[in-house]
Amino acid sequence: MKTLQSNKNTALIIIVASLGYFVDIYDLILFSVVRVKSLKDLNVPDADMLRVGASIINSQMFGMLLGGILWGILGDKKGRLSVLFGSIITYSLANIANGFVTDVNSYIIIRFIAGVGLAGELGAGITLVTETMSKKYRGYGTMVVAAVGLMGAVVAALIADKYTWQTSYFIGGGMGLALLLMRVGLVESGLFKEAKENNIQRGNIWMLFNNGARFKKYLYCILIGLPLWFVVGVLITFSPEIGKAMNANGVLNAGKGIMYCYIGISIGDIVAAFIAQILKSRKKVMYIFLTLTAISIVIYLNSDGLTPEKFIGLSLLLGFASGYWATFVTIASEQFGTNLRATVTTTVPNFIRGSLIAITLSFQFFKDQVGILNSALIVGFICVVIALFAVSQLQETFLKDLDYIEE
């Protein structure tokens, strides 16, 4: 009877974490989908679309960077469930407010607040799943969370195509608030409760920096995610501008590109998880998918005369090749003890998202020097090389026991 109840709790955690991440991704990616449409309504000139769009998405990503720190520490100090509640209320209300935006400055501020809220969802959910499931099967649990969650980008593209950009934001905020009702029945992580009962120091973020080996491990966990956000944040988000440079046969639709890219990422996440189970190694999976990412970037940026139809196919390819998000977040979660696990699992993906600021600034810098296509090739190459090196420096975590703390 106890085992049956435990299985039900585990299933509920996976379902709620999956749906929560679904809404999180919907809201996270929505600006990239409605960027052109919303900025035109706000009377932004075509010549300023890339610059203003980059400012807004950087504001959102900076919010996620700060929010990752806030929610990560709270996740270890107060519990994983408190983060799930607090983060979803923040980003849901911010997205509803976003529907009333009438100027660029307000857009920038509200996307920052939304970013802070969006930062907590994935880390808390993945931490709960990894600490609740057995070490043999937890990879499947995180796979389901990522695969279902990433489809939120697909729905964002479909909704934005059918409704106004304001209504799209309202829908995202409404879905988030509706999810709060599902969170009531969740049970807190047993490993967290044990650490709390034993008065173990939890959520001390300085522990990630006061030990050289631990800091390097933390930094490497962050760096392995760079190529994925380069693909989504640069190659797909700015595909209309990149398409012009490639003499595309028609305007490339960033919204459709994001939708198909995330379909590819979801498929890639599922395939990556199964390969990891077969090879009993997450590091080998990372090497495989980072190599595929490099190949797909080169193919995409050498597609002169690209048609909108071929762009959809390449978006799928780029997404699949960089579909290691679930594997990457699981690796980060498995690298650290219970008293720092939520801090790491929440901050790492958000520092990766925050790194998009540096990536887009680098992209814009090189664009002025060598052109948009060569700039994308240079920045993409740097991201992949850094990620490959970072993977080589991390320990294999497949089948690792997570019942331990950081001293």
- pLDDT averaged per 10 residues in sequence order, the chain, 407 residues: 59 84 86 87 87 87 87 84 84 93 93 91 82 80 83 87 92 88 67 69 82 92 93 90 90 84 88 90 95 96 90 95 88 86 85 84 90 94 97 89 75
Res 1: pLDDT: 43
| pLDDT value of position 399 | 80
* Number of domains comprising the chain: 1
Is residue 389 one of the residues assigned to a domain?
Answer: yes
Look at residue 35 and tell me if it is in a domain: yes
Q: In whole angstroms, what is the distance from residue 233 CA to residue 28 CA?
A: 11
Task: Write out the residue range of the structural domain in which residue 259 sits.
Answer: 2-393
Give the pLDDT confidence score for residue 105 in this predicted structure.
Answer: 92
Residue 405 lies in a domain: no
Long-range own/partner contacts, residues 282-286 (CB < 8 A, 24 or more apart): 282/139, 282/327, 282/330, 282/331, 282/396, 282/397, 282/398, 283/331, 283/391, 283/394, 283/396, 285/324, 285/327, 286/224, 286/324, 286/327, 286/328, 286/331, 286/387, 286/391
Residue 350 lies inside a defined structural domain of this protein? yes
What is the model's pLDDT at position 296? 96
| CATH number of domain containing 30 | 1.20.1250.20
In a domain, 398, yes or no: no
Report yes or no on 251 lying in a domain: yes
Q: Does residue 403 fall inside a structural domain?
A: no
What pLDDT, on the 0 to 100 scale, is given for residue 223?
Answer: 95
pLDDT at residue 94, as a whole number: 94
pLDDT for position 166: 94
Establish if 254 belongs to a structural domain. Answer: yes
